[in-house]
Structure formats: structure tokens, C-alpha cells
Amino acid sequence: MKSTRRAASRTAVRAGRRRRAASAAPYHHGSLREAMLEAAARILERDGITGLTLRAAAREAGVSHAAPKNHFGDVRGLLSELAAVGFARFSAALVANTRDGETPKARLAAIGHGYVTFAQGNPGLFLLMFRSERLDFSRPTLRTAAEAAFRMLAGAAGAQQPREAPLTLSQAAHIAAAWSLVHGFAMLMLDGRLKRLIARMPDGTDEMGLLGAILSGAKTQS
């Protein structure tokens, strides 16, 4: 009986060692970068930016804590690459409700709606994307994705120009006004600052209904 228990104990110890070794083994799958970014996105929405570290993301992805360094270098690299993914999704959200042949005003309203809808559905990622002190905009993927989103918003505001072309004061003012409107609304919504205002409005009116009323008066550059 004792020998049986000793054998079972040895088997359990060996199994535990195998599990620990497997969890510490390098990740050899070809999609490590994607797995890490997906894990980081889950942590960001669940625990916030303070909970997102390289070690936490590696643990969430089920890989060695040392493996992500080859792809991201440090946590700032991970955050930057995650923000790049965010901006790419953000650009898709901006044009999701646009239609061919619509008026400039309708296009601006649709893009503004997409802007706030993205923030509402991805609050952690949205806030990260605009946390410049945590991001490295010298990384090509992040810089390219962020600039593409900005050009889309600028174009909707009526300033469709090459990336490096100078803007007139009027063009810059229209871009800033459109951006301030939707970004400010998104931040008020995420901070819960609109709840008291919504409570005083007709039954069935929500944040997006209020946004629609605001955007119906938005102007593009004439």
C-alpha cells in the first residue's frame, strides 16, 4: 500500500513538473505577435492600462514571459502595436456607415457616429490610442495607422489634401472643430458625464440619439 502511494506521489510530482515546464517553454507558434495582441486587448478592457504588462500579456496568452520581447521589446512597444491595431479598427469604424454619393454633411455625421461608436465599444483601447505618453509614434505601424485615421477625419471635414500639404487656417479650424466635437463627446460619454443630461431628456433617448442631434447641425468646410 505504501509503495503504491509513493508511486502515485512520484507520478503526481512528475506531472506537475511537466506542466510547469510546458508553461515556461518558449512559444513556437507562428502567430505569437497576434496572440499577444489579442491577449493584451483582453487585459486592457478587463483590467485597464495599469494591469497591462508584458508579463501579464504573456500569461494571458499562455506563453513564456520572455517570448514577447522579440516582437515588442518592452511594454511601450506592446502598447504601441496594440494602439496601431486599434487605429486600423478605428478607421474601419469611421467609414462603416458611410455611403457612396452621400452629401459631405451626411458623410461627416456618419464618420462622427463611427468615431463615438468605436469609443463606446472599445473604451480601453480608445483611451490607449490617445495616451501619447505611453506610445512610441516613431514605430511605423503606429504612425501609419494613426495618420490614416486622421486623414479620414480631415477629409470628412472638407480638407482632402496630401498628407504633408500645408493647411489654411480655415481648413485647420474645420478639422479641429469636427475632431473636438466627436472626441469631446466620446470622452464625456466614457466618463459618465452625460448621464444626468440624458436623464432629463425624453424617454428612450440615449447618448447616440443625443449625438445624432448634435451631428445633424455639424458643418463641413464650404
Q: What is the pLDDT of residues 184-200, one digit of tens each?
A: 999 999 999 999 999 99
Residue 195 phi/psi, 5° resolution? -60, -45
Angle separating helix axes 207-215 and 104-121, nearest 10 degrees: 160
Nearest 5°: CA angle at 168, between 165 and 170?
140
Domain extent listing, the chain:
74-215
Q: Is the pTM of this model over 0.85?
A: no
Using alpha carbons only, how large is the chain's radius of gyration in Å?
A: 24
Q: What is the pLDDT of residue 21?
A: 37
| Residue entry with cell 495582441 | 37
Per the CATH hierarchy, to which homologous superfamily does domain 74-215 belong?
Tetracycline Repressor, domain 2 (1.10.357.10)
DSSP class of residue 63 equals S
Q: What is the pLDDT of residue 220?
A: 58
Regions of the chain short of the pLDDT cut 50:
2, 4-5, 8, 13, 15-28
How deeply is 118 buried, as exposed, middle or buried, from its count of CB atoms within 10 A (0-12, 13-18, 19+)? buried
